[in-house]
Amino acid sequence: MGYPHKSHERETPILSQYFGDAGARTLDGWKQRGGYQALEKALAMSPADIVNVVKESGLRGRGGAGFPTGMKWSFMKPGDGRPHYLCCNADESEPGTFKDREVMRWTPHALVEGCAIGAYAIGAETCYIYIRGEFTEPLLWMERAVKEAYDAGILGANAMGTGKRVDVHIHKGAGAYICGEETAMMNSLEGRRGNPRIKPPFPAVAGVFGQPTTINNVETLAAVPGILMQGADWYKGMSLSNPKSTGTKLFSVCGNIRYPGTYEVVMGFPFKDFLYDLCGGPVHGRSLKAIIPGGASVPIQTMEEAEATLMDYEGFVAQGSMLGSGGVIVIDDAQNMVRVIARLARFFAHESCAQCTQCREGTAWTTKILERIRDGQGSMEDLDTLMGIAENMTGTTICVLSDSCATPVISGIKKFRHEFESLILGKRVHAVTAAVA
Amino acid sequence: MTGIKSPDLASHDSHGNEPHVPVFTGANREELDTLLGRYPTKMAALLPALWILQRERGWVSDEGMAEVAEVLELTPAYVKGVVTFYTMYHQHPVGKYFIQVCTTSPCGVCGADDVVKAFLQHTRTGELGITSDDDRYTVIEVECLGACGFATPIMINEEFIESVTPETVPEILAKLP
């Protein structure tokens, strides 16, 4: 549902069905709502069969990259005598994104169940759920859910009486956006600074503790029990656009919009209807100016682009952006784009791990220039400098934080250049006036 | 006596606090032992151990880091290197109420800067990161708290509060014991 608002008739609430329903948080409540039947079913299947069902469903990673989940799972080769790990990425920190928070605080058992199935499917005995430290409420509910699941024998050495071991542990982060990057998360889990690692080796070969590891997003894992219960065809059938994007997707909507919240729609839903009908459009007296549709790291869309978008992995790309994490940031005509982008750049500068020169220097330099322009002290040359820095920050570093900072800058200057120029030229007008006086 | 007061290096060193009393004894030691059972290495329990230290002492001192290093068989310098990477470990004492206001762009376009101003004013801290004279409040800006649809979210210690506006700030502060 469009939590905290009433579900809209055009939504397809599957993951979000119980958002706002406190009864779904407990083990008993979750079982009454059909919980843990999928895990029971899974533990009676062979791991390879589970991987095949997930492959067949077309489920793709919901954290941002959109990698096919079943394929990722198939990279794990069980039975080589080494410990295998599943990590659930619950370090949701991408500005604009707050969907995983709702999954964890309303339906914690859905995630525990998804983790247990995922761990079993890839031959991992241990799953770590890495939750960002600021998420005190989701941490509370997730810890309770895991404890309940252990006490009930759902997790542990003899999971659901099958003789198979499935352990799930919660690991609390300590404040670092970069730990949402999968290799940084593994370092953090190991008790290190959260610096991303160079790939290869890929996590499936040498991941956390040097062992084969798969990392999946909260929403991805929470979608698995439904797929196992209803079948791959059911999931695959949920698409309004193209067969590469299937199922439902949670979108968290924020910024200058009438009904901010978390919505769930079928892939390929028209973005225009989504923004104006489901989310209520702009607040009174305003009009929408720009959208950042997939968290702060994706290109900014003009309203023309946004209104022509079909909401799926390919649809956002076709209209100049990316689906990303599904964190929709809405910007209205009362906002200055330079101010918005400068604040985003400051975010990335703050969160850079400082390993790579392009990122360490580039995020800070970009922020400095943008804030100068914002304050009316910029020059036209600054725009060229910004584009040059952004180019050097793209595709040149260990992880994509650097690219993420460059993205809103490049798309912002290309699509809203007039706002930059008017701030710069405004300053010149003042300078001329001052000289004449 | 007039003139410039020379810095008191002894008290600067320990931040004027009592000598460090070991944290990892009794129930805390048991808690740590349980955590150690979850990981194949001792080092992996570092973040959780630092959380226990901060919960017990309110912040992470050099002496505390040294104790963590000893129990996990790491060096103090290594522990400090990790502590300084993360934003949530306090490397100096903070006010009784540590207030974090999200000001990243999604909240920024909804007026988060005014919420910050209201907190600075009503807590009489006046400046970000400064602790009020009565040691009651420290206010900081924080990067995206991940609750953007509930602008402006804030945290007061472990408590998460959604949809804060400048108008609700006095009421929130008045409710603090």
Residue A150, CA distances (Å) to A109, A128, A379 in order = 12, 15, 62
What pLDDT, on the 0 to 100 scale, is given for residue B14? 45
What pLDDT, on the 0 to 100 scale, is given for residue B10? 41
Closest CA to B99 of B53, B160, B146: B160
What pLDDT, on the 0 to 100 scale, is given for residue B15? 52
What pLDDT, on the 0 to 100 scale, is given for residue A428? 53
Q: Kindly report the nearest CA distance between residue A200 and chain B, in angstroms.
A: 23
Which one of B40, B104, B145 has the shortest CB-CB distance to A83? B40
Placement of tokens 């489901």 in the chain: A278
* Reported confidence tier of residue B3, pLDDT bands at 50, 70, 90: very low
Question: Measured between alpha carbons, how far is A70 from A216 in angstroms, rounded to an integer?
Answer: 11
Is the Cβ–Cβ distance between A133 and A173 less than 8 Å? yes
Contacting residues of A for B160, CB less than 8 Å apart: 134, 136-137
Instruction: Count Cα neighbours of B108 within 13 Å in the Cβ-side half-sphere.
Output: 25
Contacting residues of B for A286, CB less than 8 Å apart: none
Angle at B41 between CA A125 and CA A176, to 5 degrees: 90
Nearest CA in chain A to B72: A191
Beta-carbon contacts of B174 under 8 Å, excluding residues fewer than 6 positions away, are: none
What 8-state DSSP symbol labels residue A161?
G
* Reported confidence tier of residue B107, pLDDT bands at 50, 70, 90: very high
Which one of A93, A253, A329 has the shortest CB-CB distance to B146? A93
DSSP characters over A22-69: GGGGSHHHHHHTTTTHHHHHHHTS-HHHHHHHHHHHT-B-SSSS--BH
Contacting residues of B for A253, CB less than 8 Å apart: 149
Nearest CA in chain A to B83: A193
CB atoms B148 and A96 under 8 Å? yes
CB atoms B149 and A262 under 8 Å? yes
For chain B, helix (H) and strand (E) counts, in that order, are: 8, 4
Which one of A101, A189, A353 has the shortest CB-CB distance to B146? A101
Tokens of A5: 């608002």
What pLDDT, on the 0 to 100 scale, is given for residue A80? 87
What pLDDT, on the 0 to 100 scale, is given for residue B11? 39
DSSP characters over B14-76: HTTPPPPPPSSSHHHHHHHHHHHTTSSSSGGGHHHHHHHHHHHHSS--HHHHHHHHHHTT--H
CB atoms B43 and A192 under 8 Å? yes
The radius of gyration of chain B from alpha carbons, rounded to an integer in Å, stands at 19
Is the Cβ–Cβ distance between A268 and A289 less than 8 Å? no
Instruction: Count Cα neighbours of B20 within 13 Å in the Cβ-side half-sphere.
Output: 19
Closest CA to B81 of A183, A188, A198: A188
Mean pLDDT, rounded, for B142-156:
96
Which one of B41, B45, B81 has the shortest CB-CB distance to A209? B41
CB atoms A174 and B44 under 8 Å? no
List per-block mean pLDDT (blocks of 10 residues) for chain A, which spans 437 residues: 85 96 97 96 96 98 95 92 96 97 98 97 96 97 98 95 94 97 98 97 97 98 98 96 95 97 98 97 96 97 98 97 97 96 97 97 98 96 98 97 97 97 77 48
Tokens of A105: 């605080």
Question: Measured between alpha carbons, how far is B100 from B116 in angstroms, rounded to an integer?
Answer: 9
Question: Measured between alpha carbons, how far is B103 from B108 in angstroms, rounded to an integer?
Answer: 5
Question: Measured between alpha carbons, how far is B79 from A142 in angstroms, rounded to an integer?
Answer: 28
